[in-house]
Structure 1
Amino acid sequence: MAGAAGMLLLLLLGLLLPQEAPTSLQSRKGSAILSHKENGEACGQHSECQTNCCVRTSLNRQKFCTTKNLFQQCLPWRKPNGHRCSRHKDCYSDCCVQTGRQPDTFCTTKTMLQCVAWRKPDRDLCSSHNQCWSLCCIQMGESSRSRCWPRTGFLAQCLPL
């Protein structure tokens, strides 16, 4: 009887005490955790990161694990103002425009929610109204070339003097 009671006691203790997982299950869990990188760690693709977000975080071409934004989007890093760009999406401000006489384009801030490109000052040579700050490109004489000209008149129209 003592033997049966002892076996029953061992059986009850076995049910109450926490049991360890099999070794094969532990190793599978451990490798899954190790394969997901934390924020700030270098990565090559989204699936490598715990956040599922692997993007460039600076001008450096290397990608790193980062958090998603408020809307759960994984947004790439964009260039700050003053850096060369080729399209609006390259810039944090979404504004990539010509900023001077050179044809190069740079990231700049938006004014009044608009992305306004640099335009030529009055009296500079031009070929269209959009090239001028005054939005007025006029040929003053038959033999002269068109130039940017200030708007004049009661309705500030684009008229020659």
Structure 2
Amino acid sequence: MLLPMLAEWLCANNGKDARATRMVRDMHLFLIPTMNPDGFAKRRRKNRGGKDLNRNFPDRIKHAGTDLRLRQKGTQPETWAVMQFMLGKTWAGAANFHEGAEVAVYPWDGYASGTLSAAGGASDAPDSATFKFLAQTYADAHTTMSTSGGEV
């Protein structure tokens, strides 16, 4: 509900609140409340085609050397639409909210082995130190994550 609430706040406060007015006037904001409307309506992870869209984006490690601008076999329509939308813009920043486990993730936070195990070697992004710092700062300030004992 965070994105619909943000949209409502922006609309209600544009022209009344300096921060809201500046965001509406000076930023290009694209809010996608859900990319899985079928799953959202049925309260499940999978779309109408029975695919988990959270696991449907191509993995840059598994598909190394592949032009990801070309549609891969098995890519769901919702996934493809979001990919095309993202490729059609120049981005200065992005945020992604995901229901489920309370974790802070960052770009390329997987491992070269394709597993979630560090044994395969980290797959760092050029700005990994910054991403890890931001994720750790957020997690440390979050009530539940700060007491979970995990680390970035």
Q: TM-score per shorter chain, which class?
A: under 0.3
TM score, norm. by length of structure 2: 0.19
TM-score, L = length of structure 1 = 0.19
Greater fraction helix: 2
Bigger radius of gyration, 1 or 2?
1
Name the one with the larger strand percent. Answer: 1
Structure of higher RCO (CA pairs closer than 8 Å, 6+ residues apart)? 2
